[in-house]
Amino acid sequence: MNWITNYVRPRINSIFSRREMPENLWSKCDSCGTMLFHRELSDALNVCTNCGHHMGISPRDRFTALFDNGVFTEVPVPKPIEDPLKFRDQKRYPDRLRAAQKQAAEDEAMLVAEGEIGRTPIVAAAQDFGFMGGSMGMYVGNAIIAGCERAVATKRPFILFSAAGGARMQEGILSLMQMPRTTVAVQMLREANLPYIVVLTHPTTGGVTASYAMLGDVQIAEPNALICFAGPRVIEQTIRETLPEGFQRAEYLLDHGMLDRVTPRGQLRDELISITRMLMGLAPPVAGDLPKPAPPAVEAPTPETETPKAPSET
């Protein structure tokens, strides 16, 4: 018996305890429930490898995957005054903000960056649904304005990834005023004849959809993304009838003429490169990865409109 209790049992126990993986290495697909290994999941840009369900992705991860070699420079965003209304519900607004900053490890709900995709210089902005529901407050407004101004100054296309529950209630009317403010920013791009491409991701609703997210020259959505003005629950409460299957999802909007395309996340980068290059009148993109030290022969035929990299101060 001693041999069993002293040797075999600890061995067996150790095998089982070793199998207990740290939880954060695995995540469960929101849709099909498949357990996905973290590395596999991040390689697939948070798209379930089993069912193709698109889960949320942070702006930083998205940009790392989007920009050539994951290199991008953040475009500085002017900080608005904090808590303009001295808003307080069950918690103080600054406390909610602080908690969100800690959890997301970002300052606010939007990240703006410049860099190259497929050697095409662009400015991009991505909204962070993980940060207070991606809600549009003064900071998000400032970010979009800063991004558009940067795009105009450097003559680059502007690509925006939207994800938001709507306007940030805690900033009251000033959040609502981001609708006209961001619209002004989009007009700056239009007047400078620069492409404005919107990629609508899950979910994009409310005042965000009713302003900058619906004003793109080209409107692309990720599969199954919820895109609407009034959410399905609000509508069901108002009209008291059940809504059709897939209502307000990307494919439904495509069917109703509200979008140009629905594109899986894995194909977005190539598609964005292709669209921006055509709209900017640039030569076709070079397929595949370029050799690290780029041979001058590839660079030569590209027209001058390709503006030189202008890395800005962060």
* Interacting residues with another protein (CB under 8 A): 80-81, 84-90, 138, 141, 145, 167, 169-177, 179-181, 183-184, 186-187, 206-207, 209-215, 228-230, 234-235, 238-239, 241, 243, 247-248, 256-258
CA gap 302, 298 in Å, rounded: 8
Nearer to another protein by C-beta: 67 or 93? Answer: 93
3-state secondary structure of 311: coil
Closest by Cα among 247, 252, 254, 218 to 233: 247
Nearer to another protein by C-beta: 244 or 303? Answer: 244
C-alpha count within 13 angstroms, C-beta hemisphere, residue 250: 21
Nearer to another protein by C-beta: 85 or 283? Answer: 85
Nearer to another protein by C-beta: 15 or 239? Answer: 239
CB of 254 to another protein, least distance (A): 12
The vertex-41 CA angle with 36 and 45, nearest 5°, equals: 150
Q: Which two tokens stand for residue 270?
A: 């190539």
CA dihedral of residues 159, 305, 146, 115 (deg, nearest 10): 60
Contact between residue 273 and residue 118 where contact means Cβ atoms under 8 Å apart: yes
CB of 40 to another protein, least distance (A): 35
CA-to-CA dists, residue 96 to 5, 111, 128, 297, angstroms:
53, 19, 16, 54
CB of 178 to another protein, least distance (A): 8
CB of 75 to another protein, least distance (A): 17
CB of 153 to another protein, least distance (A): 16
Nearer to another protein by C-beta: 111 or 148? Answer: 148
Nearer to another protein by C-beta: 64 or 229? Answer: 229
CB of 177 to another protein, least distance (A): 5
Closest by Cα among 33, 1, 27, 63 to 269: 63
What is the helix (H) or strand (E) element at residue 73, kind and residue range?
A: strand 72-74
What is the helix (H) or strand (E) element at residue 219, kind and residue range?
A: strand 218-221
CB of 88 to another protein, least distance (A): 6
Nearer to another protein by C-beta: 29 or 152? Answer: 152
